[in-house]
Amino acid sequence: MLSINLQEEQLITLFENNPQKDIFHHDNQEEYLDAIGKVTLAVKRFLDNNKKPFSGVTPAELRPLFAKVDFDKPLPDYDSLLDEVENLYTNHAVAFHHPEYIAHLNCPLVIPAIAAEVMISSINSSLDTWDQSAGGTLMEQKLIEWTCKEIGFGDLSDGIFTSGGTQSNLMGLLLARDHYAFKLLNHNIKQDGLPAEASRFRIFVSEMAHFSIQKNASLLGLGEKAVVKIKTDRSFRMNSVLLEDAIKQEIALGNIPIAIVGTAGTTDFGNIDPLQEIGRLSTKYDLWFHVDAAYGCGLLLANKSRKLINGIELAHSVTVDYHKSFFQPVSSGAFLIKDKKFFGLITHHADYLNPKDHDHDGLPNQVNKSIQTTRRFDALKLWFTLRMMGKEKLGGYFETIIHTAAQIAAMLQADPAFELMNESDISALVFRYNPRDGQADLCAMNQFIKKSMFNGGEALVAGTKINKQFYLKFTLLNPLTTIDHVKNIFNIIKQHGNEYLQFNKTTTEFWRN
């Protein structure tokens, strides 16, 4: 009893000396504004100091600084905190906004969406139930309705915001699995688990599809063997003739085709599978058709290039990543479905959260459609963006990216020092430096170029392997990247390539002598 009294006295003393100083509430606005203001200035310093995409820091250089951090000893003020965070993080953060960052699928951000982040984090609504979000639920539903309309879905469509493409693709395969188990086998997976026949379920994808399809098949208990990879044509798009052959072959083997996944924007090449033909085959063989448009969803906004994803409206479900092609902060994705009835396959009612009588009362609980429970109000970022900028302006940014990528492809083709692997529907270009001296190990040389560029930080590109050969890759998602920026990147690539050649030449001469 004595120890309890002492603890109570300590707490009383603590709050008398510091009355909820750190808690966000109505009497603490000055503290809030001061903190937000200081962080805003720190972000400004990040923008001012980033003259190149990356500092080039290594884990070995940075890790010792973390050994000095003691979480049991709080810092005295925000200035001290921000000094620490700048040394450990922001001084070395990769600057996705920089026009010479053209590595991965990371976009620059539009300012309205960043402004929305402040409101999202501060008010901290949870979008799982109406009684935790109110108007936030209706705003999310309005944006889902808008996206479904842009896809070409009808009045029965619906959807939910997600953490991104991997989660959305998981939901597409989950509904396909459960739907076909019930339809073909009269088996309820939600209640009874996987049927024995699930080992024979098959999902068809392009060999260039996102790795999350295999990963999700494993998570769903189907195993990676359930994923049948279809070879692509010369343009790295799924070959629909081979797709139909594979469907027939799996049926002949006694397996059960349940879904086809079409990709609208492959990660490596930015190309789009023949969605209309895949849609036709999905109807012919009665298969679930899911479109992974995590990258290519920006085409929904693009008046000139929208035709590239004709056929997406034939899908049963679609993945979109607003944080790739709508210039939104991570995370901001969505899973869209043509017929909302299929969400019943994953709905679970809990008396303390979303009891069934809420459905009768017309209360819109988004958790009924989600595999998450607590969810951030990420939809507010897109709301701010569309209300401040509009669809046309966003679409113009995406059209600019496509146009610039086409110009870059032409430059790569015209320069004898480069080999271009593809022409992209969107903005991903795979290529390698090849000075054609007849002696260089092209894989080793291009790996050296990528590593040297990353260590230097002046410009960042990605890399990938095609047919076991290493290539460099541009992924353009910044409308501010110009041809002059790309020319500079070409020069940096050639410089490091020539360094490699000179080193090899010197080493060879040394051993000869």
Q: What is the 3-state secondary structure (H, E, C) of 178-216?
A: HHHHHHHHCCCHHHHCCCHHHHHEEEEEECCCCCHHHHH
- Give the count of domains, the chain: 1
The DSSP letter of residue 328 is P
pLDDT at position 381, please?
98
pLDDT at position 351, please?
63
Backbone angles phi, psi at 320, to 5 degrees: -130, 145
Residue 2 has pLDDT above 50, yes or no: no
Grouping H, G, I as helix, E, B as strand and the rest as coil, residue 400 is: helix
C-alpha to C-alpha distance for 169 and 318, rounded to whole angstroms: 8
Whose tokens are 């490596």? That residue is 268
pLDDT at position 4, please?
54
pTM: 0.93
Residue range(s) defining the domain that contains residue 181: 115-389
Residue 299 included in any domain: yes
Residue 260 included in any domain: yes
Grouping H, G, I as helix, E, B as strand and the rest as coil, residue 334 is: strand
Residue 274 included in any domain: yes
Mean per-residue pLDDT for 496-513? 74
Q: Give the least confident one: 208-212, 363-367, 415-419.
A: 363-367
Mean per-residue pLDDT for 121-148? 94
Backbone angles phi, psi at 319, to 5 degrees: -100, 130
Please enumerate in sequence order all residues whose Cβ is within 8 A of that of 343, keeping only pairs 6 or more positions apart, or say none: 158, 175, 337, 368, 369
For residue 402, give the nearest of 430, 420, 428 by alpha carbon.
Answer: 428
pLDDT at position 1, please?
44
Grouping H, G, I as helix, E, B as strand and the rest as coil, residue 321 is: strand
Residue 183 included in any domain: yes
Grouping H, G, I as helix, E, B as strand and the rest as coil, residue 474 is: strand
Residue 286 included in any domain: yes
Please tell me whether the peptide bond between 424 and the residue prior to it is cis, using omega within 30 degrees of 0. no
C-alpha to C-alpha distance for 194 and 231, rounded to whole angstroms: 29
C-alpha to C-alpha distance for 279 and 212, rounded to whole angstroms: 21
Q: Give the least confident one: 180-184, 384-388, 482-486, 505-509.
A: 505-509
Percent of the chain with pLDDT over 90: 85
AA letter at 370: S
pLDDT at position 504, please?
78
DSSP string covering 228-247, please?
EEEPB-TTSSB-HHHHHHHH
Mean pLDDT of all residues belonging to the chain: 93
Looking at the chain, the number of H-run helices and the number of E-run strands are 17, 12
pLDDT tens sequence across 199-251: 999 999 999 999 999 999 999 999 999 999 999 999 999 999 999 999 999 99
C-alpha to C-alpha distance for 420 and 236, rounded to whole angstroms: 13
pLDDT at position 341, please?
95
Which helix or strand (DSSP H or E) is residue 447 part of?
helix 442-456
pLDDT tens sequence across 251-302: 999 999 999 999 999 999 999 999 999 999 999 999 999 999 999 999 999 9
For residue 433, give the nearest of 463, 478, 393, 477 by alpha carbon.
Answer: 463
Q: Who wins on pLDDT, 50 or 139? A: 139
C-alpha to C-alpha distance for 208 and 214, rounded to whole angstroms: 12
Backbone angles phi, psi at 110, to 5 degrees: -85, 145
Alpha helices in 99-185 (DSSP H): 111-123, 135-151, 165-185
Residue 367 has pLDDT above 90, yes or no: no
Residue 512 has pLDDT above 90, yes or no: no
pLDDT band at 17 (very low <50, low <70, confident <90, very high): low
C-alpha to C-alpha distance for 262 and 290, rounded to whole angstroms: 6
Residue 186 has pLDDT above 50, yes or no: yes
pLDDT band at 5 (very low <50, low <70, confident <90, very high): low
Residue 352 has pLDDT above 80, yes or no: no
For residue 130, give the nearest of 299, 336, 292, 368 by alpha carbon.
Answer: 368
pLDDT band at 12 (very low <50, low <70, confident <90, very high): low
Residue 469 included in any domain: no
pLDDT at position 508, please?
56
How are beta strands 469-475 and 428-433 bridged, if at all? antiparallel
Which helix or strand (DSSP H or E) is residue 469 part of?
strand 469-475
C-alpha to C-alpha distance for 176 and 288, rounded to whole angstroms: 6
The DSSP letter of residue 90 is I
Percent of the chain with pLDDT over 70: 93
Residue 83 has pLDDT above 60, yes or no: yes
Residue 253 included in any domain: yes
CATH number of the domain at 187, please: 3.40.640.10
Residue 427 has pLDDT above 50, yes or no: yes
Residue 282 included in any domain: yes
pLDDT tens sequence across 433-442: 999 877 789 9
